[in-house]
Amino acid sequence: MSHALQLRDIHVAYGSRIAVSGVSLDIAPGQIVSLVGSNGAGKTSTLRAIMGLNPPSQGEIRFGESRIDGRSSPEIVAQGIALSPEGRRVFPRMSVRDNLLVGGYLQPQGAALKGAIERMFDHFPKLRQRRHQMAGTLSGGEQQMLAIARALMAAPKVLLLDEPSLGLAPIMVQEIGRLIEEINKAQGLSIVLVEQNASLALRLCHHAYVLENGRIALSGPGQELATSEYVKRAYLGI
């Protein structure tokens, strides 16, 4: 099987602090791959390495036939990888529609851009209702939808989602989960999902990696890991 995205033995450090040590991942086209682990396990650092925000000090990252470690973030976005960061970082004093326009800066102007915005409104009907509203006045769940939609405006082949359920009410967590599945199936999009909500992450994904102290402790199909006694005790509270 060809892989949309491959990480091979990557290491990421912040000064003297090692955040990721020897992580290798395979993300196949059309798959949802979850990274599960506690705070400080190296999940977000792995996403930041992929995006060129904190380039790995060692190892390789390949996207299709191209090696992308060492490239700038805008180059990586142009290649077809987009990040929806932790914390719903929308532009609060811009309208919902203008936030989407910022995400679509790589799209040709005119009909293509308008069509992309309409597709986002089809996926996220609540955003259509709020399209002229300032993003900072949206609910937490609506801001998360907007953050995901803005990343999708770049028309990525791989979407990186960093803690999309963080701080949301349980009913909204289920809605975000449903939307992730819908986007994956409708667009055949590869998704790398970083989640502290391990039960959600393992339910949604085709394959999962458990990170501990910057290393991969376990990996396997999501359903298989969900039945692991270790994962149940450490991450599912069972």
User: 3 pLDDT exceeds 70?
Assistant: no
Asked which of 100-104, 142-146, 231-235 is least confident by mean pLDDT, the reply is 231-235
Q: Give me the domains of the chain, ranges plus CATH numbers.
A: 5-92+158-236 (3.40.50.300)
Take residue 16 and report the two structure tokens written for it. Answer: 């003297």
Where is 6: in which H helix or E strand? strand 5-14
User: For residue range 179-234, what is the model confidence (pLDDT) as tens digits?
Assistant: 999 999 988 899 999 988 899 999 999 999 999 999 999 999 999 999 988 888 88
**pTM for the whole structure:** 0.92
Q: In 10 A of CB 230, how many CB atoms?
A: 11
Average pLDDT over residues 141-165: 93
Measure CA 33 to chain center. 10
Q: Which residue has the higher pLDDT, 202 or 108?
A: 202
pLDDT of 1 higher than 70 = no
Chain centroid to Cα 49, Å, comes to 13
Cβ contacts of 5 within 8 Å, gap of 6 or more: 25, 26, 27, 50, 61, 62, 63, 81, 158, 190, 192
Helices 96-103 & 140-152 angle (0-180, nearest 10): 30
What radius of gyration do the chain's Cα atoms show? 17
What is the C-alpha to C-alpha distance for residues 145 and 158, in angstroms, rounded to an integer?
17
